Chain A
């Protein structure tokens, strides 16, 4: 295998793994803030036990996010040296800022959460939950800024030629708030908060089915349903905002998302597949649907089709198409599920509905999978570019690193990450089985 493929696979594996723990951390962070807020207000032993329980789950998960995040910080230099030279003038600043503004904040106040309950005031402790959660959202902002610049670069000029060709910053705010930063940040944050909501729901459903910690479970269920309902419904306008951004700024990507071959109005597909050999898309679709979504109600606007792009300038079509549509389908499933849970819970019938509870126990898989699919669609759909329109992924690798070394580290990453995943899973399952250490007589 060649260096480009191996570098891509290694990046996908390490970032995909890291991005299992990041959504869990940020999502659980919100649940934790709410739990600690309840305790801060009530001061009851019961609420303290509940908050302590979330802190344990949160910190164990956060730790894996931190550990696997170091790999990402180094990955640009180790495996994408040519890319790093090309974008360093712009891309390095958000990474450094993330360290300075977010990582120091998170790590300091995480330490308070871990060991500080008896050392600091109640208010300091409560504030720390906000700061850790806020820090993690700030961290996400810097990373989205960096990644969005790769999707829709702005505020720069190209200097030099050949091997010394690189992007140079001309306007910091234009680069930072490039056209896709805000919609992509909103889309990502809403998605990771959905994870938090569904995890709370799942945990509550697990306890309710078993008839243990039922008081804690009922409160958690209400919180989880509130978070999940709001974020899942909000995803409709936010997802729309992000889709319009892609239609506007990345025509070849949206053509792949919809399997749009010929110039003209674009259909909005629900499900289907791309037949690359014959250059056709077979799908269940609304003709001209994309035109409606971008406000062209006459349906006359023409979008460039895949045939207008040379094959070398198109992303891998099938993966881009399928990941994008699966993400949306899963959103539909989550919407139905969370609305059903909301309705039954409102009527007080959820606790008796064993079948729905059984489904809800597994429900966090949906937002987690959806997030992975969405990232795959965004990043695979960006191909063949690593920086949209400016630098091809194939030209961005580290020339000093031979394929054999990357293959070796890739195998080790998979091996080591599996060990850590199993360790984390055992510890977290142990915590969940044990449940919150509620005072005697409280369920």
Chain B
């Protein structure tokens, strides 16, 4: 295993970290208008992610930075190729951040911030899945590894028509279902009273929807993207992650049936991380499979120099333990269910 392979795994670990951590706060945002019946419910929902979402989102930023550093060509091709989608993601995250920081201080604009929290969570949830689906399927690349856009088609059309194919839509739905599930297992862990009861109902429904979509996605991959499917099951990693995804889902069901809320949350976290693993196993050793005419972007042809990868590895060896320590501190500080008083006075 060379440095390039190690960094392929490490970028995957960062993205899995992003899925586990930011996944639940995105899920809370998607559920926000549906479960937040009263002003107190809404405050409780926001409070459940209030001190945590910012640190959670840093996994994405760091993952993006690591991709840039370790595989510059992939960062350049994917980010410019998915330009409109990336910008939509960006605008969503900007308004989402503003809504979480401003909402409790700005009652006059409550509507705007409520919508921002919902759309700022729902749009990324769908986009992540659609993007992953398209990458598994492969992108139209030129000989220089550039993304081929609509070729003079009107604005958006080229990109959108390429991006919104049936397979990517299935993966997009899978992503939304999992994020809703993960949000509901988190709320089941944090909420109190009526909100807790409603979160449990969602958890049950979402776990069934997610399990169904997981099977549908596997079948869709086998039928629509047979190459990726074959690549995924060609080694032990793909089987292992598939098994873990199933185990995670089973944990959610077991936890839900016994009101073991911690178990079901760990279950949905495991399922999410495993899906990142399945994605990685299905494209390895490529990072961006190609639909032609150019070649795929692989570890070999897109990795940075050995020196850069070594320096980055040292940086990661110092930085990752620190990050884990911070996360331990912060999750310990805000452990337990939301105190009922907090909804009124804004103190946690």
Per the bound structure, the CA–CA distance linking A103 and B100 in Å amounts to 18
**What DSSP secondary structure best describes chain A's contact surface?**
helix
Residues of A close to B101: CB separation below 8 A: 59-60, 63-64
In the bound complex, do residue B105 and residue A79 qualify as a contact, i.e. CB atoms below 8 Å apart?
A: no
B84 interface hit (Cβ, 8 Å): yes
B311 (CB) vs chain A CBs: closest residue: A172
Q: Which of B77, B78, B83 is most buried by chain A, counting CB atoms within 10 A of its CB?
A: B83
User: Interface segment, B53-61, B195-203, B239-247, B270-278?
Assistant: B53-61
Counting CB contacts under 8 A, is B221 at the interface? no
A68 to B65, CA, bound (A): 16
The stretch of B141-149, B169-177, B178-186, B229-237 in contact with A is: B141-149
Nearest-neighbour CB distance to chain B for A123, whole angstroms, equals 14
* In the complex, chain B residues whose CB is within 8 Å of the CB of A119: 333-334, 348
Identify the stretch in A89-97, A190-198, A363-371 within 8 Å (CB) of chain B at 4 or more residues. A89-97
Q: Which residue in chain B gives the minimum CB-CB distance to A115?
A: B348
* Cross-chain contact A400 with B307 (CB below 8 angstroms): no
Q: Taking A100-B316, A398-B80, A416-B94 as contacts, is the C-beta distance between A70 and B348 under 8 angstroms?
A: no
Residues of A with C-beta under 8 A to B327: 108
Question: Do A85 and B322 have beta carbons less than 8 Å apart?
Answer: no
Q: How large is the interface on B (under 10, 10 to 19, 20 to 34, 35 or more residues)?
A: 35 or more
In the docked arrangement, what's the CA distance between A60 and B73, Å?
A: 36
Q: Mark A69-90, 1 if CB is under 8 A from B, else 0.
A: 0110110111101101101111
Known: A96-B68, A100-B315. A118 touches B323 (CB 8 A): no
Stretch at the interface among B85-93, B252-260, B283-291: B85-93
Does the CB pair A90–B58 fall under 8 Å?
no
A96 to B64, CA, bound (A): 8
Q: How many angstroms from the CA of A74 to the CA of B80 in the assembled complex?
A: 10
B80 and A112 form a contact (CB under 8 A): no
Q: How many A-B residue pairs have CB under 8 A?
A: 242
Q: How far is the CA of A100 from the CA of B17 in the complex (A)?
A: 13
Contacts of A107 on B, CB cut-off 8 Å?
Answer: 54-55, 57-58
A99 touching B58, Cβ below 8 Å: yes
From known contacts A88-B73, A115-B50, A423-B102, infer whether A401 and B55 are also in contact, taking CB-CB under 8 Å. no
A114 and B55 CA atoms in complex are apart in Å by 13
By the criterion CB–CB under 8 Å, are B68 and A108 in contact? Answer: no
List B contacts of A114 (CB < 8 A): 50-51
Which of B57, B66, B87, B155 has a CB less than 8 Å from the CB of A96? B66
- In the assembled complex, the Cα of A88 lies from the Cα of B304 at a distance in Å of 7
A100–B320 CB distance below 8 A: yes
Chain B 89-130 residues near chain A, CB threshold 8 A = 90-91, 93-95, 97-98, 100-102, 105-106, 108-109, 112
Do A96 and B65 have beta carbons less than 8 Å apart?
yes
- The answer on a CB contact under 8 Å between B73 and A85 is yes
Within 8 A of B (CB), among A309-329: none
Contacts of B97 in A (CB 8 A): 63, 66-67, 70
Q: Is the CB of B326 within 8 A of A104?
A: yes
Is the pair B333, A116 in contact by a Cβ cutoff of 8 Å? yes
Are A101's CB and B319's CB within 8 A? yes
Residues of A within 8 A of B70 (CB): 92
A-side contacts of B66, CB under 8 Å: 92, 96, 99
A89 and B308 in contact, given A108-B326, A115-B347 (Cβ under 8 angstroms): yes
The 7 closest A-B pairs by CB, nearest first: A88-B72, A77-B79, A92-B69, A99-B62, A96-B65, A100-B319, A63-B101
A selection of 16 A-B contacts at a CB cut-off of 8 Å is A63-B101, A70-B90, A70-B93, A77-B79, A92-B68, A99-B65, A100-B323, A104-B55, A104-B326, A107-B54, A107-B55, A108-B327, A405-B155, A408-B155, A423-B102, A426-B109
Question: Which B residues have a C-beta under 8 Å from some C-beta of A?
Answer: 50-52, 54-55, 57-58, 61-62, 64-73, 75-81, 83-84, 86-87, 90-91, 93-95, 97-98, 100-102, 105-106, 108-109, 112, 144, 146-149, 155-156, 304-305, 307-308, 311-312, 315-316, 319-320, 322-323, 326-327, 329-330, 333-334, 347-348
